[in-house]
């Protein structure tokens, strides 16, 4: 078989493997802390379900590979709790079902994914809310049982330092924030296995929201990952999507969100939807 044909035949297979490593990365909830650090004793807890579907993958050269059939469903717990004035802790714990399908054959996996833990501080008293956040991604899984079984992540520890700033116009019911961070992609694992030489990079997240009829809050969120070097394994992507926060009581709310991927490299071109219930401390 000519080399070009071998390459074409291998692309969907490689795509499925790399798409599957996005499970817990792209399942993260949109409602992150932003610059508004919780006061001591305040809290926000969300239980949610998200579904992710990908039928295409973009290669390191930028070519779109179709014919990928990947699906994941993630149940997660996300929480923030104020521990001191100007400091809070937050965490994200996912439980994921993932499936790769090749024609009539399906390969599935189920279990915990990448847990995130973070500490956020707001040490500066500025005219706009600001915060620093140190976040660690901890893989709670091992290698897949077979080459075609979907992976639940990249199996290594990431450390990300975020700078967050935002604000709003109370009279207009508008708020906004932007986060930018540096992500250190280590070779550390929790089970002493070898992993790829991933590139460090910059990560961003931005959100703008509007209070609709003094009841629900609708928002548009975008997130992105930009590695520092172009290689064959480090992912880069941009996601954009809407969300809605609908209070049921002064403490309980329904939340829904979704996004699609207008740009990707070494990464899936997919979409996701999510639904959750949150509980927060009274205002």
Contacts of 222 (CB under 8 A, 6+ apart): 204, 205, 206, 207, 238, 239, 240, 241
Question: Among 173, 182, 83, which Cα is nearest to 134's?
Answer: 182
Q: List the domains of the chain with CATH numbers.
A: 3-280 (2.40.160.40)
Question: Among 233, 20, 59, which Cα is nearest to 143's?
Answer: 20
How far apart CA 182 and CA 187 sit, in angstroms, is 16
pLDDT of residue 23: 45
Contacts of 7 (CB under 8 A, 6+ apart): none
pLDDT of residue 4: 42
How far apart CA 185 and CA 199 sit, in angstroms, is 6
pLDDT of residue 49: 97
User: pTM for the full model?
Assistant: 0.87
pLDDT of residue 193: 77
What letters, b where the CB count within 10 A reaches 16 and e where it falls short, cover 209-245?
bbbeeeeebebbbbbbbbbeeeeeebbbbbbbbebbb
pLDDT of residue 28: 52
Question: Among 32, 5, 47, which Cα is nearest to 253's?
Answer: 47
- Residues (pLDDT < 70) of the chain are 1-33
pLDDT of residue 1: 44
């Amino acid at each position: 078989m000519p080399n070009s044909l071998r390459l074409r035949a291998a692309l969907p297979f490689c795509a499925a493997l790399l798409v599957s490593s996005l499970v817990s990365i792209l399942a993260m909830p949109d409602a992150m802390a932003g610059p508004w650090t919780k006061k001591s004793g305040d809290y926000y807890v969300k239980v949610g379900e998200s579904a992710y579907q990908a039928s295409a993958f973009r290669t390191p050269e930028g070519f779109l590979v179709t014919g990928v059939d990947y699906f994941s469903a993630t149940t997660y717990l996300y929480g923030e709790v104020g521990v001191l004035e100007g400091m809070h802790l937050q965490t994200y714990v996912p439980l994921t079902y993932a499936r790769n399908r090749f024609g009539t054959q399906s390969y599935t996996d189920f279990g915990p994914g990448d847990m995130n833990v973070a500490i956020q501080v707001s040490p500066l008293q500025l005219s706009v809310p600001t915060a620093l956040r140190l976040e660690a991604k901890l893989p709670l899984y091992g290698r897949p049982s077979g080459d075609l079984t979907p992976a639940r992540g990249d199996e290594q520890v990431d450390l990300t330092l975020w700078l967050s700033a935002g604000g709003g116009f109370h009279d207009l019911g508008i708020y906004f924030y932007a986060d930018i961070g540096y992500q250190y992609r280590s070779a550390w694992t929790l089970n002493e296995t070898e992993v790829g030489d991933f590139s460090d990079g910059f990560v961003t997240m931005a959100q703008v929201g509007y209070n609709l009829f003094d009841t629900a809050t609708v928002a548009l969120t975008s997130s992105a990952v930009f590695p520092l070097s172009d290689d064959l394994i480090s992912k880069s992507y941009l996601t954009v999507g809407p969300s809605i926060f609908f209070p049921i009581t002064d403490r309980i709310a329904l939340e829904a969100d979704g996004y699609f991927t207008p740009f990707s490299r070494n990464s899936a071109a997919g979409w996701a939807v999510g639904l959750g219930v949150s509980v927060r401390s009274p205002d």
